[in-house]
């Protein structure tokens, strides 16, 4: 996969549309900039869409499901059977993200990117690369070809959603062991000690956390990923869910569909996407800061400002979905408020 060529094919942010959206905000009868980051996000959306008429009525949550071979090292409370069980519950609309998405009218779209188990359901999209990755503590988690296929699958998913009329997409994932793979990638790309970026995931004991940290150190030592080559880091330490989400972020930029970043796994994927194709960043919309140790550092590296700090770490896209009602409220003000001229008062002036 030629990322230099792919990066060149990504359309730029529409600065004229973003500027028009900012002028519209400034004309609304309220103190300038008083909705803070909510205003900034609407302006960012205008830059992605290429129009100040920002509309996000049809929204989806892509939940990428995959298993990780590193689970063999005892880094998680659960086994791969849980990934399959949650994927099945996603098709039944019974998981946490399904309940939250129902409140904001978002469609949950579960995708099998590479689970060990299989589920024959028309409600689970089959994009499986293999029956889980290999154990990264013994060698590369996936081949370069597998990583490239997973990225392309993510890009294609965005195109599919655009063709179906979706205006904005949230990223989600499900896969036992994926906080281990994500923490490993974060340690390399952020150049931070493994202990500093590794958390308890779904609830490890102190002893199990030590095992997780040692496993990540072992995987990095064995694979020797090149910090300057994000694709090398991805195929050696990542998962099919992460690679697929890299594709979602690249696809969002290619097809002018804003992609909402969720938590740790999603943010790691976003950072890889930016390292591979720097122009992809303009279509990324931050939601919350994960309570996982690397969450805040990843957002700083991406130079993005999430507006939710709720100590969430559930996954599935729950944090990303939590942003949607805030965007809806911001857009209600943006589209429905009176201007200064309409109510017959002088507009605020920007003061230096």
Which tens digits make up the pLDDT trace of 145-198?
999 999 999 999 999 999 999 999 999 999 999 999 999 999 999 999 999 999
- The whole-number average pLDDT for the span 323-338 is 97
Position 243 confidence tier, pLDDT thresholds 50, 70, 90: very high
pLDDT at 77: 82
Position 352 confidence tier, pLDDT thresholds 50, 70, 90: low
* Every domain of the chain and the residues it spans: 59-327
Q: Per-residue pLDDT tens for 15-31?
A: 999 999 999 999 999 99
Sign of torsion, CA 69 169 271 212? negative
**135-150 per-residue burial string, b: 16 or more CB within 10 A, e: under 16:** bbbeebbbeeebbbbb
pLDDT at 347: 76
pLDDT at 213: 96
- The whole-number average pLDDT for the span 40-58 is 98
Active-site choice (164, 316, 342, 349): 316
- The whole-number average pLDDT for the span 268-275 is 98
CB 71 within 8 Å of CB 87: no
pLDDT beyond 80 at 202: no
Q: Does residue 316 carry a catalytic annotation? A: yes
CATH architecture of 59-327: 3-Layer(aba) Sandwich (3.40)
Three-class HEC string of the chain: CCHHHHHHHCCCCCHHHHHHHHHHHHHECCCCCCCCHHHHHHHHHHHHHCCCCCCCCCEEEEEEEECCHHHHHCCCCCCHHHHHHHHHHHHCCCCHHHHHHHHCCEEEEEEEEECCCCCCCCCCEECCCCCCCCCCCCCCCCCHHHHHHHHHHHHHHHHHHHHCCCCEEEEEEECCCHHHHHHHHHHHHHCCCHHHHCCCCCCCCHHHHHHHHHHHHHHHHHHCCCCCCHHHHHHHHCCHHHHHHHHHHHHHHHHCCCEECCCHHHHHHHHHHHHHCHHHHHHEECCECCCCCCHHHHHHHHCCCCCECCCCCCCCCHHHHHHHHHHHHHHHHHHHCCECCCCCCCCCCCCC
Q: Per-residue pLDDT tens for 81-93?
A: 999 999 999 999 9
pLDDT beyond 90 at 208: no
Position 351 confidence tier, pLDDT thresholds 50, 70, 90: low
What's this model's pTM, rounded to 2 decimal places?
Answer: 0.96
Rounded Cα distance between 260 and 43, Å, is 15
Structure tokens at 322: 């939590």
Position 346 confidence tier, pLDDT thresholds 50, 70, 90: confident
Number of C-beta neighbours around residue 170 at 10 A: 33
pLDDT beyond 70 at 233: yes
**Residue % of the chain over a pLDDT of 90:** 91
- The whole-number average pLDDT for the span 125-130 is 98
pLDDT beyond 80 at 203: no
pLDDT at 106: 98
């Amino acid at each position: 996969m030629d990322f230099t060529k792919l990066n060149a094919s990504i359309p730029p942010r529409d600065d004229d549309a973003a500027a028009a959206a900012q002028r519209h905000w400034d004309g609304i009868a309220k103190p300038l900039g008083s909705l803070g980051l909510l205003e900034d996000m609407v302006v960012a959306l205008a830059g992605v869409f290429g129009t100040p008429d920002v509309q996000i009525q049809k929204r989806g949550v892509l939940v990428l499901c995959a298993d990780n071979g590193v689970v063999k090292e005892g880094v998680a409370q659960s086994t791969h059977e849980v990934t399959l069980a949650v994927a099945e519950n996603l098709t039944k609309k019974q998981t946490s993200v399904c309940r939250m998405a129902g409140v904001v009218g978002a469609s949950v779209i579960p995708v099998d990117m590479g689970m060990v188990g299989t589920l024959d359901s028309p409600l689970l999209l089959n994009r499986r690369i293999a029956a889980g990755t290999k154990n990264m503590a013994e060698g590369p988690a996936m081949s370069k070809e597998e990583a490239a296929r997973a990225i392309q699958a993510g890009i294609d998913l965005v195109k599919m959603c655009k063709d179906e009329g979706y205006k904005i997409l949230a990223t989600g994932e499900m896969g036992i062991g994926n906080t281990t793979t994500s923490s490993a990638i974060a340690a390399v790309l952020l150049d931070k000690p493994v202990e500093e970026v590794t958390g308890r995931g779904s609830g490890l004991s102190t002893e199990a956390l030590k095992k997780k940290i040692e496993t990540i150190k072992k995987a990095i030592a064995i694979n020797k990923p090149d910090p300057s080559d994000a694709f090398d880091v991805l195929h050696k330490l990542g998962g099919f869910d992460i690679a697929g989400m890299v594709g979602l972020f690249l696809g969002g930029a290619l097809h002018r569909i804003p992609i909402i970043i969720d938590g740790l796994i999603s943010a790691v994927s976003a950072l890889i996407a930016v390292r591979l194709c720097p122009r992809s960043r303009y279509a990324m919309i931050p939601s919350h800061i994960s309570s996982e140790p690397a969450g805040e550092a990843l957002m700083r590296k991406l130079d993005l400002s999430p507006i939710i700090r709720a100590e969430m770490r559930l996954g599935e896209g729950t944090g990303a979905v939590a942003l949607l009602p805030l965007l809806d409220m911001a857009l209600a003000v943006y589209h429905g408020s009176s201007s200064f001229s309409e109510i017959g008062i002088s507009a605020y002036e920007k003061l230096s």
